[in-house]
Structure 1
Amino acid sequence: MKKALITGANKGIGFETARQLLQHGYFVYLGSRDRQRGEQAAGQLRAEGYSQVEALHLDVTDSTCIAAARQALGQRTAVLDVLINNAGISGGYPQPALETPLHTFREVFNTNVFGAIEVTQAFCDLLRESSAPRIVNVSSGLGSLTLQNDPRWRFYAVKGGVYPASKTALNAYTIALAYELRETHFKVNAVCPGYVDTDFTDHLGDSSPSEAAARVLQAALLGPEGPSGQFFGQEVGTDRNPW
């Protein structure tokens, strides 16, 4: 049975992605910063009939917690097949580039960039034991420099000094990591799940968590001929909001 770890999985896109991976026969570890909420989320999935799920206390901004989570997971499995770096925060809007406090930049980058990097580095040894390891970094079209600089883009005016920049950095890391692992069986990609109806968007999104999770799964379930180092986003070339 293949195994997957999802960060920020106790609600929203992460939770729905877990449900869909379970439906594909995966054993899923729900990474959650809040231990109790993680256990509640796992309990909800078990109540729905999915037995192959466990909560894993994992705060991506806490190095000690990441190390403890890696040790705990290593005691449960010697192999990890999928890592989905889903945990993320927006930092709140508006985010004027000249006025947003530096501590907001640090807070957002700690979660969206450094957290994803540290988790990837911590769990990469387990991923290397898989015959088809997959890393999916949940990103955003707002991190696309091409789209952000195109006045024809529907959301050209949706600017922010913090959140978009954090996703741009995550995209750059995705490319570098994919290149570094190009001679292996790894597939490393970034995915924009869309403008999703979750707490993250104050439920203003026009896409459901189920639809968003399906987009993430496309990258998580790539076959051996699938691409690596790519950015997948439904909004590219469309009028979708790339949150």
Structure 2
Amino acid sequence: MITEPRIVVVTGANRGIGREVARQCASRGNTVLLGARDLAAGERAARELQPSVRGRIRGVRLDVTDTAALAALAADVDVTEGRVDVLVNNAAVHYDTWQSAVDVDLAVVREAIETNVLGSWQATLAFLPLLRRSAHPRVVMVSSEAGSLASMGAGPPAYQVSKAALNALTRTLAGNLRRDRVLVNAVCPGWVATDMGGPGGRDVADGAASVMHAVDLPDDGPTGTFTRDGRPVPW
């Protein structure tokens, strides 16, 4: 595990898994930029978490579908922090259990792809110059076994197709960024009891711990992997 303080950006972090990942990162003394589409919600989450952690948490407006806003935030982080060590692409929409692939609102699918795939891609590109300044750069894609082709069948179409595409993006970026020492990995946190996952799942702290495994990989750790709780998930 890397012990020196790091600069961590978490997207979709005002609630659920993203919020808990932000808390766990900050509890280790890291500086966390807690991203939320609604700045007020992000700042409120940061205020609520700050008293219980050693590191610093700052709420920032981070809409992964807004390229201009991403560029503005990256410019701000350049000035205030000088680098990014870890980017956790957690923001996601539409666990669309109410529809099937043969009876689907394609507008919902487009929205899912825009956020779950292109949003993660755009966020990675926006922060890549700052990641390249890090001695230990990491990109973590919060994915789902719903996107595993090995086990995929009928299911929430927008969600699982977009997560499968996110997994493909993980492999592609990992290959391109290997020479820059940027480790890019996908993580399934499991079925977690959140607003998106619904009741009955595992505790959010356990889901976030699965993500933290990829956050904490050593410099000689793997890239281009898909894991849950540190163990491989079939692509």
C-alpha distance in structure 1 between counterparts of 2:175 and 2:141, whole Å = 15
C-alpha distance in structure 2 between counterparts of 1:78 and 1:46, whole Å = 22
What is the correspondence of 1:136-215 to structure 2 with a 5 Å cutoff?
136-148=140-152, 159-205=155-201, 207-215=202-210
C-alpha distance in structure 1 between counterparts of 2:30 and 2:9, whole Å = 10
C-alpha distance in structure 1 between counterparts of 2:100 and 2:59, whole Å = 37
Q: Do residues 62 (structure 1) and 58 (structure 2) align? A: no
Q: Do residues 84 (structure 1) and 92 (structure 2) align? A: no
Segments of 5+ residues of structure 1 without an aligned counterpart are 150-156
Letter of the 1:161 partner, please give it: P
C-alpha distance in structure 2 between counterparts of 1:81 and 1:235, whole Å = 20
What is the correspondence of 1:41-60 to structure 2 with a 5 Å cutoff?
41-50=45-54, 52-60=56-64
Q: Is the CA contact (8 Å cut-off) linking 1:141 and 1:235 kept in structure 2? A: no
Segments of 5+ residues of structure 2 without an aligned counterpart are none
Residues 97-125 of structure 1: CA distance to partner in whole angstroms, max 9, x if unpaired? 12212211111111100100000000000
SS at match of 1:75: helix
Q: Output the aligned Cα RMSD.
A: 1.9
Q: Is the CA contact (8 Å cut-off) linking 2:77 and 2:83 kept in structure 1? A: no
Q: Is the CA contact (8 Å cut-off) linking 1:194 and 1:235 kept in structure 2? A: no
Letter of the 1:52 partner, please give it: R
Aligned length: 230
TM-score when normalising by structure 1 = 0.89
Letter of the 2:198 partner, please give it: D
1:113 corresponds in structure 2 to 117
Q: Percent same amino acid at aligned positions? A: 41
C-alpha distance in structure 2 between counterparts of 1:227 and 1:99, whole Å = 39
Tell me which stretches of 4 or more aligned residues in structure 1 moved more than 6 Å: 235-238
What is the correspondence of 1:220-231 to structure 2 with a 5 Å cutoff?
220-231=215-226
1:152 corresponds in structure 2 to none
Letter of the 2:104 partner, please give it: T
Residues 115-141 of structure 1: CA distance to partner in whole angstroms, max 9, x if unpaired? 000000000000000011000000000
Q: CA deviation at 1:74?
A: 1.7
1:38 corresponds in structure 2 to 42
Letter of the 1:173 partner, please give it: L
Letter of the 1:85 partner, please give it: N
TM-score when normalising by structure 2 = 0.92
Q: CA deviation at 1:234?
A: 4.8
C-alpha distance in structure 2 between counterparts of 1:237 and 1:223, whole Å = 17
2:131 corresponds in structure 1 to 127
